[in-house]
Amino acid sequence: MTAAHPGSSGPSLREWATGVTVFAAIMLMMAGILDIMRGIAEIADDDIFVTTRNYVFAFDLTAWGWIHLALGVLAFVVSFGLFVAATWARVTGVCIAGLVILANFLSLPYYPAGSIVMIAAAGFIVWALCVMRKDDAAVPAGSSAGG
């Protein structure tokens, strides 16, 4: 029986890192799907959105639709790279999640509840992608290296 100490890089740390990466991949995929659906709804000029007068960042609802659709497609595609723990996917995922936070903040008056949920989800994605170090997930969880 082997015990993993808090300072060691035992199997529990690798399993935790793998779990966080999978969490980030699934959350980014879900955020992408939700942003795609929101973008389609905005492009279709759905009646669930509020029109706000005198808003500083006022775009046409169709413009917000294209922005959310593009971010959603990018997030969905990048999430597949996270399933294989690719470094490019982690960096791109953080950038896309940051853009999702920004886009949802700027379109907050149009869909407040949905925007707040997406901001929170993207915040968790950024956290999950930034908390893991590359060497934590370098060795597969089933191997005996390092322990």
> Which runs of consecutive H residues, i.e. helices, occur in the chain?
11-43, 61-82, 87-106, 112-131
Torsion of CA 11, 13, 18, 21, to 10 degrees: 180
Q: Give the per-residue pLDDT at 136.
A: 55
| Residue 144, pLDDT above cutoff 90 | no
Taking the C-alpha atoms of residue 46 and residue 61, their distance in angstroms, rounded to an integer, is 9
Q: Would you say residue 139 has pLDDT above 50?
A: no
Q: In terms of pLDDT, which residue wins out, 15 or 14?
A: 15
The model's pTM: 0.73
Is residue 54 within 8 Å of 119, Cβ to Cβ?
no
Region 28-34 average pLDDT: 92
Residue 24 and residue 57 in contact, taking contact as beta carbons nearer than 8 Å: no
